[in-house]
Copies of this chain bind each other. A is one copy, B any other.
Amino acid sequence: MTEERQAKKREKILEGALRAFLRDGYAANMDVIAAEGGVAKQTVYTYFKDKETLFAALVDRLMERFVLAGMTAELMELEPPAFFRTMTQIALQRMDDPEYVGMIRMIIAESGRFPELADMYLTKLVRPGIESLAQYIRESPSLNFSDPEAVARIIHGALVNFMISQEILNGKYSMPMGRERLASSLLELVLFAAEQAKRAR
């Protein structure tokens, strides 16, 4: 049997799991997962030991997909205004991806049952993002904040929480706010503060 064939089956299973878990969380039904993947239930169990393993594999794979979508080299070379504008826009665009949003919800929801996933999320996605951001701040002559990493966390937190309240908690209906408003104010906050920090030296 071809490895390729195995890979295809595995892929179909994960596709079914993706849809079901995204819709129903960890409570998703294994029969349904198999059906959505167009695959026999038994086959699911030949590729994955049990539900936990499948869930972990799925979230893992989902995270992998978003690892690269971070800080590129060319981004890091922009001047602060363009850099923050671009970075913010990229971060906020993720709000439109139901798979990204669903992944975040699942990680938070199951952080009790699957602490390794929460850990992986922080290690693979959050930390690198914050570190790149902090590094950019640190190395920008025009931005001299006293604690670049803390500033990076503030920026990151503001963006992530905006997504959580707007998309996960449905704030886009009950307390909507355009992304541009958030983005502009964030830009204003950071650049003005940087300007003043420079002056204060």
Mark A residues whose CB is within 8 Å of B. Answer: 24-25, 27, 105, 107-112, 115, 118-119, 121-123, 126-127, 130, 145-147, 149-151, 153-162, 164-165, 168-171, 174-175, 177, 181-182, 184-186, 188-190, 192-197, 199-200
Contact = CB atoms under 8 A, between A and B. Distances in A.
Given A118-B169, A157-B159, A157-B160, A109 B107 contact: no
Contacts of A110: 109
A159 B110 CA distance: 22
B177 A153 contact: yes
Contacts of A181: 147, 149-150
A168 to B, nearest CB: 6
Nearest to A169: B118
A170 B119 contact: yes
A165 B126 contact: yes
Closest 7 CB pairs of A and B: A157-B161, A109-B109, A150-B185, A192-B196, A192-B193, A193-B193, A157-B158
A122 B194 CA distance: 32
Contacts of A168: 108, 111, 118
A147 to B, nearest CB: 5
- Most B C-beta atoms less than 10 A away, residue of A107, A157, A162, A165: A157
Contacts of A158: 153-155, 157-158, 161
A33 B127 CA distance: 38
Contacts of A186: 150, 154
Nearest to A104: B108
Contacts of A156: 161
B170 A115 contact: yes
Contacts of A150: 177, 181-182, 184-186
B177 A188 contact: no
28 contacts: A24-B112, A25-B109, A105-B111, A108-B108, A108-B169, A109-B109, A118-B169, A118-B170, A119-B169, A122-B165, A123-B174, A127-B174, A145-B185, A146-B184, A149-B181, A150-B177, A150-B181, A150-B182, A150-B186, A153-B162, A154-B158, A154-B185, A155-B158, A157-B158, A157-B159, A157-B161, A192-B197, A196-B199
